[in-house]
Amino acid sequence: MAERRYRVFVYGTLLTGEDNHPIAAPYVRDVRPGKVKGRLYNVGLYPALVLGEEGEVEGEWLTVTEEGLKAMDELEDYGEGRDDNEYERVWVRDVCQPLEGYVYVYRPEKAVGLPLIPSGSWRRRKENM
């Protein structure tokens, strides 16, 4: 039986080389750079994406196995149909190329008062620390 694969846009600690990438790495089958519409906020040790028409957020499209998606759901404390998820997993499209898939996003009301990362890049934000 063919291995099920999912494309997931990552923009923070799951990026290649970042702290939580080893959680996804065993299940990654492909990595491509990408961008989605929205704004990136600094939650402290990790960022939060709020989708919207303003701004662009840089990241990577990871193609992962079903086990990889489950591992990322666990990291993000996401459960389908739960009301207490910190992040929601939704469908999104890339800004510049014909790629689409899942992304973990913050609810806009939860981002109120958090510092904006103006560059839209978690890596560039870390370079400027």
Backbone φ, ψ for residue 37 (5° rounding): -75, 135
pLDDT class of 125 with cuts at 50, 70, 90: confident
- pLDDT tens across 2-38, in order? 789 999 999 999 999 999 999 999 999 999 999 999 9
Place of tokens 């890339």: 94
- List strand residue ranges (DSSP E) for the chain, in order: 5-10, 28-42, 47-65, 88-93, 100-105
Beta bridge partners of 32: 61
Q: Is residue 129 predicted with pLDDT exceeding 70?
A: no
- Measured from the Cβ of residue 98, the count of other Cβ atoms closer than 10 Å reads 6
Going from the N-terminus, what domains does the chain have, and what CATH number goes with each? 5-127 (3.10.490.10)
Q: Which tops the pLDDT comparison, 34 or 128?
A: 34
How far is C-alpha 18 from the geometric centre of its chain's CA atoms? 12
Question: Which pLDDT tens digit goes with each residue over 45-100?
Answer: 999 999 999 999 999 999 999 999 999 999 999 999 898 898 999 999 999 999 99
| pTM of the complete model | 0.94
Task: Lay out the sheet containing 28-42: strands in order across.
Answer: 28-42, 47-65, 5-10, 100-105, 88-93
Determine whether 76 is an active site residue.
yes
- Amino acid at the residue 78: Y
Q: Which of 18, 56, 76, 88 is catalytic?
A: 76
